[in-house]
């Protein structure tokens, strides 16, 4: 969104913008879905796509790469040495949805700690946090695209990647930004330090410290304790997503204002950021038309949602390896938020020819019980087996063959809890395999929804024979809420940003 906003700020200077776009670096993106394929890799008739003036709805993956390569020695002392942090994890994962009919943009954030299947051949192994999908060398962005498409069913039509060095240089090229802090804040790891409330001017390095802050401590009013004893923001990376949403709007708004008041400065900034981003080749060819078409998008009203998740207490071990703090998905909330964010995102659910059931708890009885429950929905269950999951607790996985997401979605209608999809070439065409984990409920009838735009729905199900999947309450402050849907810790994060009193925001207009 930042890159598009910056381009839009100077979109009237078409010739120069076209020249600048020509300097943007590209990376291969064979997993990017072309405009003729939009939903689950399945061809959608052109008449069914949201289209206007020749522009189609698109989803663009925005990637923040946390590589330290390119940082100065001083910056590496703050953010870590590139000799130690040699990988390329995704610090930020967002999908920008562009709707040509309404000329609107909306953002969906995927928490980086969400435990997910990796695409086949990923060097980090078959399962990891979603951020690790980027750790595939030059093919990292393409591999992350595949993970987002296969695990969450979100079609990706392009990607934009920005690393730490590019982030710093881009903010500095803008002359820094102004951010209002209601309270003093401190992060001992990112080294963010705001000693007093008020409007602060941040350079690129300071801005990165703000966006990187996952261990934020704040100074409550009337508190006299040293900053090391200040209370922590309890939401960690989920709170960081909220602050990043705010930050992006501040930077984009600043760029747009520069474009209106000082076109030369805006073009200078545009030139700087064009040298810092990496996009897939097809998107590069679209950039000029996209920024021209969407140049009047109201930055302040861009809708922002985050996939609801639930945290696994303590460090998670999988296959004997410590994965660290991880988050699990929450269904049906996740799919409902995705549908509200992009109403065309999923193909129509189609029942599979057959379903095989594998219990990950090692219990043959659990496999038979799950098979019997799925059979009540008219699904043909052909086998019921049991194995032990490499991790406890375990997610439920709905495995489907390539290009057959519609079958997985049909089965997922009857599942709630920590459930995720996984594409697999080992699953026969027309069939689905359900690996039943330790945190799942199989309902007697399909979930029906009453969904407010962008929110997780109030789910209505008949009593389940395992754990009952009851209604997910509307999200409210604080940012997590208790639920009886099976989760690792009994709480589900909010799909909507929940701003805390200490969270930074745009400086008041004068």
pLDDT at position 136 over 70 = yes
CA angle 363, 324, 137 (to 5 degrees): 105
Per-residue pLDDT, averaged over 374-380, amounts to: 95
154 compared with 43, residue with greater pLDDT = 154
Q: Is 218 helix (H, G, I), strand (E, B) or coil?
A: strand
Reported in sequence order, the residue ranges of 437-509 that DSSP labels E, i.e. its strands, are 440-442, 480-482, 491-493, 505-506
Query: What's the first-to-final CA gap in the chain, in angstroms?
Result: 26
Q: In angstroms, what CA-CA distances link 317 with 14, 120, 193, 323?
A: 53, 21, 34, 6
Q: In angstroms, what CA-CA distances link 466 with 222, 430, 443, 457?
A: 49, 28, 8, 21
Q: Give the pLDDT band of residue 26 (cuts 50, 70, 90).
A: very high
Task: Report the CATH number of the 2-164+274-312 domain.
Answer: 3.30.420.590
- pLDDT confidence of residue 165: 73
**What are the structure tokens assigned to 123, written together?**
């060097």
Q: What sign has the CA pseudo-torsion 329, 331, 333, 337?
A: positive
Q: Give the pLDDT band of residue 372 (cuts 50, 70, 90).
A: very high
Which DSSP symbol is given to 448? B
**What are the structure tokens assigned to 422, written together?**
């996984």
Which of 88-102, 209-223, 397-411, 480-494 is the least confident region? 480-494
Is the distance from CB of 135 to CB of 119 less than 8 angstroms? Answer: no
Q: Give the pLDDT band of residue 71 (cuts 50, 70, 90).
A: low
In whole angstroms, give the CA distance from residue 23 to residue 190.
32
Is the distance from CB of 131 to CB of 112 less than 8 angstroms? Answer: yes
Q: What sign has the CA pseudo-torsion 497, 149, 34, 283?
A: positive
Which of 40-54, 92-106, 377-391 is the least confident region? 40-54
CA dihedral 250, 252, 256, 259 (to 10 degrees): 110
Where do the domains of the chain lie? 2-164+274-312, 341-493
Q: Give the pLDDT band of residue 450 (cuts 50, 70, 90).
A: very low
What DSSP string runs through 225-273? S-GGGSPBPTTHHHHHHHHHHHHHHHHHHHHHHHHHH-HHHHHHHHHHH
Residue-averaged pLDDT of the chain: 83
In whole angstroms, give the CA distance from residue 423 to residue 325.
25
The predicted-structure confidence for 258-305, as pLDDT tens digits, reads as follows 666 666 766 777 777 787 788 999 999 988 888 888 888 888 889 999
Residue partners of 458: CB distance under 8 A and separation at least 6? 449, 450, 471, 472, 473, 474
Q: Tell me the angle at which helices 236-261 and 263-274 cross, rounded to the nearest 10 degrees.
A: 140
- pLDDT confidence of residue 446: 59
- pLDDT confidence of residue 298: 85
Q: Give the pLDDT band of residue 172 (cuts 50, 70, 90).
A: confident
In whole angstroms, give the CA distance from residue 470 to residue 457.
11
The predicted-structure confidence for 320-349, as pLDDT tens digits, reads as follows 999 999 999 999 999 999 999 998 889 889
pTM of the model as a whole: 0.87
Per-residue pLDDT, averaged over 21-41, amounts to: 74
In whole angstroms, give the CA distance from residue 334 to residue 321.
27
Neighbours of 236 (CB within 10 A): 17
pLDDT at position 11 over 50 = no
In whole angstroms, give the CA distance from residue 158 to residue 60.
5
183 compared with 88, residue with greater pLDDT = 183
483 compared with 7, residue with greater pLDDT = 483
Phi and psi at residue 46, in whole multiples of 5°?
-55, -35
The radius of gyration of the chain's CA atoms, rounded to the nearest angstrom, is: 23
Residue with tokens 């700087």: 272
In whole angstroms, give the CA distance from residue 253 to residue 465.
51
Which DSSP symbol is given to 368? H
In whole angstroms, give the CA distance from residue 288 to residue 280.
14
The predicted-structure confidence for 388-413, as pLDDT tens digits, reads as follows 999 999 999 999 999 899 999 999 99
């Amino acid at each position: 969104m930042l890159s598009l906003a910056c381009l839009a700020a100077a979109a009237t200077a078409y010739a120069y913008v076209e020249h600048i776009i020509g300097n943007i670096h590209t990376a291969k993106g064979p997993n990017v879905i072309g405009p003729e394929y939009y939903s689950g890799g399945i061809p959608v008739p052109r008449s069914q796509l949201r289209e206007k003036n020749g522009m189609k709805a698109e989803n663009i993956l925005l990637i923040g790469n946390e590589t330290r390569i390119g940082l100065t020695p001083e910056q590496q002392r703050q953010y870590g040495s590139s000799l130690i942090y040699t990988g390329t994890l995704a610090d930020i994962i967002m999908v920008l949805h562009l709707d040509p009919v309404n000329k609107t943009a909306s953002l969906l954030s995927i928490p980086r700690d969400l435990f997910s299947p990796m695409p086949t051949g990923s060097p980090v192994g078959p399962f990891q946090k979603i951020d690790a999908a980027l750790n595939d060398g030059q093919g990292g962005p393409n591999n992350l695209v595949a993970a987002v498409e296969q695990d969450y069913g979100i079609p990706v039509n392009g990607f934009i990647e920005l690393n730490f060095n590019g982030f710093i240089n881009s903010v500095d090229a803008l002359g820094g930004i102004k951010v209002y802090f209601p309270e003093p804040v401190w992060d001992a790891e990112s080294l963010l330090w705001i000693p007093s409330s008020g409007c602060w001017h941040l350079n690129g390095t300071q801005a990165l410290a703000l966006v990187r802050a996952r261990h934020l401590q704040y100074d409550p009013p009337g508190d006299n304790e040293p900053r090391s004893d200040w209370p922590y923001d309890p939401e960690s990376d989920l709170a960081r997503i909220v602050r990043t949403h705010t930050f992006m709007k501040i930077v984009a708004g600043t760029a747009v204002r520069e474009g209106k008041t000082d076109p030369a400065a805006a073009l200078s900034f545009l030139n700087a950021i064009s040298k810092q981003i990496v996009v897939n080749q097809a998107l590069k060819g679209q950039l000029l038309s996209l920024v021209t078409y969407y140049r009047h998008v109201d930055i302040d009203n861009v809708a922002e949602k985050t996939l609801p998740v639930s945290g696994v207490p303590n460090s998670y071990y999988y296959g004997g390896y410590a994965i660290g703090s991880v988050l699990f998905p929450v269904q049906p909330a996740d799919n409902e938020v995705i549908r509200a964010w992009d109403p065309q995102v999923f193909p129509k659910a189609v029942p599979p020819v057959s379903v095989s059931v594998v219990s990950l708890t090692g219990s043959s009885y659990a496999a038979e019980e799950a098979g019997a429950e799925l059979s009540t929905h008219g699904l043909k269950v052909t086998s019921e087996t049991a194995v032990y999951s490499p991790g406890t607790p375990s997610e439920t996985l709905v495995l489907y063959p390539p290009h057959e997401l519609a079958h997985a979605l049909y089965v997922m209608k009857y599942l709630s809890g920590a459930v995720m999809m996984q594409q697999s070439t080992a699953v026969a065409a027309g069939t689905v395999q359900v690996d039943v984990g330790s945190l799942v409920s199989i309902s007697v009838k399909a979930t029906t929804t009453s969904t407010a735009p962008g929110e997780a729905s109030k789910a209505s199900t008949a009593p389940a024979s395992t754990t009952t999947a009851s209604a997910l309450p509307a999200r409210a402050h604080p940012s997590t809420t208790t639920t009886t849907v099976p989760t690792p810790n009994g709480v589900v994060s909010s799909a909507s940003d929940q701003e805390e009193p200490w969270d930074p925001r745009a400086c008041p207009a004068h």
